[in-house]
Structure 1
Amino acid sequence: MKYLHIAHGGKLVNLIVDKSRAETLKTLSRNLESVTLPDPSISDLELLMNGGFSPLKGFMNKTDYESVLDRMRLGNGTLWPIPICLDISEKEANTFNVGQSVAVRDSEGFMLAIMHIENIWPIDKEREAEILFETQDHTHPGVNHLFNKKGTHYMGGPLEGIQLPLHSAFKRYRHTPAELRNLFKKMGWRRIVGFHTRNPLHRAQYEMTLRAMAEAKASLLLHPVTEQIRSREIDYFTRIHCYLDIAKYYPPNMMLLSLLPLSMRMAGPREALWHAIVKKNYGCTHFILGHGHADPGDEKNNTLQYKPEEGRKLLNRFAKEIGIEIVSFEQMVYLYEDDIYVPNNEIPPDSKPMTLSNDEFHEKMRTGRRIPEWFTFPEIVETIRHAYPPRHKQGFTIFLTGLSGAGKSTIAKVLYARFMEIRSRPVTLLDGDIVRMNLSSELGFSKEHRDINVRRIGFVASEITKNRGIAICAPIAPYTSTRRQIRELIESYGGFIEVHVGTPLDICEGRDRKGLYAKARAGIIKGVTGIDDPYEAPDNPEVFIDTSDMTPDESVQEILLFLERAGYTK
């Protein structure tokens, strides 16, 4: 364990061992079990090893985890509001033992560190969700990740780092805390205000950073996260190009772009406090707290999930303990008459402020609608349009869902023929039976295996959509959560049109070509959707079709009309 004593704040933990120890660990690793980390945990690992998460010396043990949840402090009393834990599967939890050392690897098998296990314990996901996110609603991205992507257990213990994760793009914009602090010193920066963001900078955020620089009398560290929070948000590469586009608008030598390998949890005030600690570790003297910091928002109602004043209270309460000054702002709004942005609490009487939320902006971006000139810079629009073209140039997925015998496959085949006739884009038919034969032949028909098959269909469709083709999918896809996840994945690349083929069960049973319903009614087979396994009907599909009184051609016509109205055809 090494500590680096550098100006602008405290001790930085450096978990990277020296060359001699690294060679010893590599030799020892040949006889060790391995644990492979997903991308969010890789991000945590990098910040643990490079000192960004100082004073942590590894993934939290159970004592620190419980203490952080209960009182936002480590077991030794050090302020720390967010659990940094390594989640593992139940199988791994039964394989590893306390006191054992394991090799920590990335998805390609490269060994990054050795972990010495202190604790393994089951995750109480309901408790963690309520304390950390104040909700168990799966539409919250942090809750969704906790329940649907994390393993069943946590494993904690100190780390010995061998090498930091590899990054292939934008390498010159990546810095460790020690490198960044040395760079500040070299440039003569003594006051640095850090701005943490997960979105491109538009005019409101740009004006806010200028105000913060003036108020703090400081230079700006633009410190965006590299991990994408939601699949529907702007991708990493496009976001970085947007930051490079806006750099020229800042005064010379007063702004520095550095990419932060942090995986956000979207935990509101707690997370804002966490970001302030991380910014302090990276050498910042000031921290910008904007409106709704680390808030996932409520997409349906276009409101915030957490109260902004709670974040301000929390940071102001602990700012002195962290050793950083907080520069907080109300929501920035546009005054058309004066062509300026001001905080919400500075709006003159009789003025009519204008705003555009990130969700509204993303909707305009995905649908190809005009983005107002007052909202952002022309370079940003051009960069985003390059990655997200108008709808008539986007790829899209037609996702037909419904009971067996509802008519999905027939509609899909007719639709495929019509698109081949139109020849506007490459088109691929991903019928459930076809995919099961070619991609999922090893799967059975359990609930778990059927869900895996649907997810595979969604992944292939997302790749087709990404490359601006048309994917036609026709699985049963009975579960709302799976369809929602597939939608989120595909909408990050193009359009997702959910077609509920809602033909009633009695009609479907009358068409029982495969004999599934008859066997299920007779008790010969189990788990048939609609009989002894539920079908969760879509609440708000783009198109609803009932083939009990519609021909396949009429059904296809409904889908094509929707595509025309939505702007996917031209």
Structure 2
Amino acid sequence: MSSLPQPHGGVLKDLIARDAPRRQQLFEESETLPALVLTERQLCDLELILNGGFSPLEGFMNEADYNGVVTDCRMADGALFSIPITLDVSKEQIEELGIKAGARVTLRDFRDDRNLAIITVEDVYKPNKEVEAKEVFGGDEEHPAIRYLYNTAKEYYVGGKLDAINKLDHYDYVGLRYTPAELRAHFEKLGWTKIVAFQTRNPMHRAHRELTVRAARDRQANVLIHPVVGLTKPGDIDHFTRVRVYQALLPRYPNGMAALGLLPLAMRMAGPREAIWHAIIRKNHGATHFIIGRDHAGPGSNSKGVDFYGPYDAQYAVEKYKEEIGIEVVPFQMMTYLPDTDEYMPVDQVKAGTKTLNISGTELRRRLRTGAAIPEWFSYPEVVKVLRESHPPRHKQGFTVLLTGYINSGKDAIGRALQVTLNQQAGRSTTLLLGEQVRQELSTELGFSKEDRHKNLQRIAFVAAELARAGAAVIASPIAPYEQSRKVARATMEASGSVFLVHVATPLEFCEKTDKRGVYARARSGEIKGFTGVDDPYEVPTNADLVVDASKQNIRNIVHEIILLLESSGLLDSNGN
């Protein structure tokens, strides 16, 4: 008989295991049904419903369960659950797929078009998002989950139980992706009876190792490092890097003390509500203890510097329901390093006047960015190596220079000269995306309407972002006449590296006067329609990083100004590379 705690609600709702004999029959049925293609967040929720991670849930919440969870952390049958697990759909999807009570609808993976489950619709309802925002997340409209609720989540929710067809396919770290049943079996095989689960969405360093070891030893338990590898907070380090860090750290634990398993959770950053949810999920995976830290699963502070949640709200919330959940809360102890004794200790146990050292997250990011040393007392060399591989120093990071201006303003000549200069200095691959070249190769079907110009610029932004992500220098020189289009493109490119908007502000009169190809004359005569500066506007950038004018400066001087801008941003090293 298992010595591990019973799942939440008493039974692990492993729908994949339960439906195994019927899966072929269900698959055949799924091919005949209308299909709803799931988003990434919906897929994360679906996976944890199907494998029992969200036990006692057997599907997406109907209206009665949703209302109970939102207002009172309880489903209609009284079961404790703190986060609404909902399947959001649009009015168009409802009408197109015939989603209504009693209907059966296939749920499909957007990544590979595999049918994963069939939902038997119990109800379709319109949630009160204002109440959900206030009760679940606290009501501050700057909260990322509230922004998602209002700006991304669709207007209707669909409730209903699921019939499982397939598990989600993963191609990364497959050996670390345990379902609750698999992880419980793993613990049984190891003979573990007390398991302290550690939730993380960040890299772990020596202090994290020390606090988890201390927590395990104090309770004569083992450690489950259980990081989230689904959707986390925007700006978090990617899970590939984090998992490599956890793998590098694992041998630093005493032999047989710790195990690593990955959790495909879509976090909501809901603070105390989320902490209750995390505790339930860890209990379903077999944990007996759960470490809850300061501001657990909180998104930090809003634009006014006000924290979304109190520092210990999460601990208080789980402590309130500790007996009902059946998991013991382990308060996260802030650890600090004592250089005189080369050890870590909880902050509240350090005597006044004792010398301590620490490195903040901001300082660590600065050291990674600049290549500055990261001491071994803070993190292990093998961990630092992984982080440096994924966070190259500034002078090795990709970036984009976006040149915008009239035709014949000199932007193409500047782009070519800048490419030559960067290639001469070496150090990184340099790509030039000339406006006309992109038109010929990527956008041949597009015209010169405002909509088509927008599409063309976004294609350039996408290519530039992909190249910059790989560490390349990208120079793009479209006309890009519209402010809003430039803003959207810049946001796309900034997700992969620094972006510098250079307005080549050569006056229209000069561009037209020196036009040797005669395109302005053809536009003036009406032969060319929708020509920027003639019968189509150019909106002057309001946020350019550099403004240059080829009618007053030569190309060499303009390129030098751009090089100085890159150097001052740390993107070129001291040798100009």
TM-score range, shorter chain: 0.7 to 0.9
CA drift at 1:74: 2.0
Work out whether residues 430 and 472 of structure 1, in 8 Å CA contact, stay in contact via their aligned partners in 2: yes
Choose from 473, 484, 492 the match for 1:486.
492
Which is worse superposed, 393-402 or 9-18?
Answer: 393-402
CA drift at 1:280: 0.7
Match of 1:108 in 2: 112
Match of 1:545 in 2: 547
Match of 1:14 in 2: 14
CA drift at 1:511: 6.4
Choose from 239, 256, 267 the match for 1:253.
256
Cα deviation 1:71-118 (Å, max 9, x = unaligned):
222233322121222233453233232132221121211111111223
* Correspondence 1:203 to 2:206: yes
CA drift at 1:405: 9.8
Which is worse superposed, 556-565 or 281-290?
Answer: 556-565
CA drift at 1:291: 2.3
Which is worse superposed, 414-423 or 221-230?
Answer: 414-423
Which is worse superposed, 351-360 or 156-165?
Answer: 351-360
Match of 1:30 in 2: 31
Residues 303 and 218 of structure 1: CA distance in aligned 2, closer, same or farther (over 3 Å): farther
- SS at the partner of 1:213? helix
CA drift at 1:399: 4.3
Larger radius of gyration: 2
Work out whether residues 454 and 477 of structure 1, in 8 Å CA contact, stay in contact via their aligned partners in 2: no
Matches within 5 A, 1:508-547: 515-516=531-532, 519=535, 530=539, 537-538=542-543, 543-545=545-547, 547=549
Residues 306 and 24 of structure 1: CA distance in aligned 2, closer, same or farther (over 3 Å): same
- SS at the partner of 1:104? strand
Matches within 5 A, 1:368-379: 368-379=371-382
Residues 544 and 123 of structure 1: CA distance in aligned 2, closer, same or farther (over 3 Å): farther
* Correspondence 1:50 to 2:51: yes
Identity %: 39
CA drift at 1:225: 1.4
Matches within 5 A, 1:276-287: 276-287=279-290
CA drift at 1:324: 0.6
CA drift at 1:343: 3.2
Q: How far, CA to CA, are the matches of 2:392 and 2:461 in structure 1?
A: 22
Residues 404 and 354 of structure 1: CA distance in aligned 2, closer, same or farther (over 3 Å): farther
* Correspondence 1:85 to 2:91: no
CA drift at 1:509: 9.8
Q: How far, CA to CA, are the matches of 2:554 and 2:350 in structure 1?
A: 58
Which is worse superposed, 346-355 or 202-211?
Answer: 346-355
Cα deviation 1:160-214 (Å, max 9, x = unaligned):
1112111223222121111111221222211111001111210121111112112
Residues 351 and 126 of structure 1: CA distance in aligned 2, closer, same or farther (over 3 Å): farther
* Correspondence 1:461 to 2:468: no
Work out whether residues 407 and 501 of structure 1, in 8 Å CA contact, stay in contact via their aligned partners in 2: no
CA drift at 1:368: 3.1
Q: How far, CA to CA, are the matches of 1:303 and 1:408 in structure 2?
A: 44
Q: How far, CA to CA, are the matches of 1:186 and 1:544 in structure 2?
A: 63
Match of 2:498 in 1: 496
Which letter maps to 1:15? L
Match of 1:327 in 2: 330
Q: How far, CA to CA, are the matches of 1:90 and 1:405 in structure 2?
A: 48
Match of 2:525 in 1: none
Residues 214 and 464 of structure 1: CA distance in aligned 2, closer, same or farther (over 3 Å): same
CA drift at 1:376: 0.9
Residues 410 and 268 of structure 1: CA distance in aligned 2, closer, same or farther (over 3 Å): farther
Residues 559 and 305 of structure 1: CA distance in aligned 2, closer, same or farther (over 3 Å): farther
Q: How far, CA to CA, are the matches of 1:258 and 1:215 in structure 2?
A: 22
Work out whether residues 412 and 472 of structure 1, in 8 Å CA contact, stay in contact via their aligned partners in 2: yes
- SS at the partner of 2:31? helix
Match of 1:523 in 2: none
Which letter maps to 1:496? S
Cα deviation 1:218-242 (Å, max 9, x = unaligned):
1111111112535643332222221
Cα deviation 1:453-503 (Å, max 9, x = unaligned):
55543332232123322222454563697467525630xxxx313336395
- SS at the partner of 2:291? strand
Cα deviation 1:239-263 (Å, max 9, x = unaligned):
2221111111111111111111112
Instruction: Quote the RMSD (CA, aligned, Å).
Output: 3.6
Match of 2:523 in 1: none
User: Structure 2: any 5+ residue segments left out of the alignment?
Assistant: 513-519, 521-529
User: Structure 1: any 5+ residue segments left out of the alignment?
Assistant: 521-527
Which letter maps to 1:470? A
Q: How far, CA to CA, are the matches of 1:342 and 1:300 in structure 2?
A: 34
* Correspondence 1:183 to 2:186: yes
Q: How far, CA to CA, are the matches of 2:245 and 2:566 in structure 1?
A: 30
Match of 1:118 in 2: 122
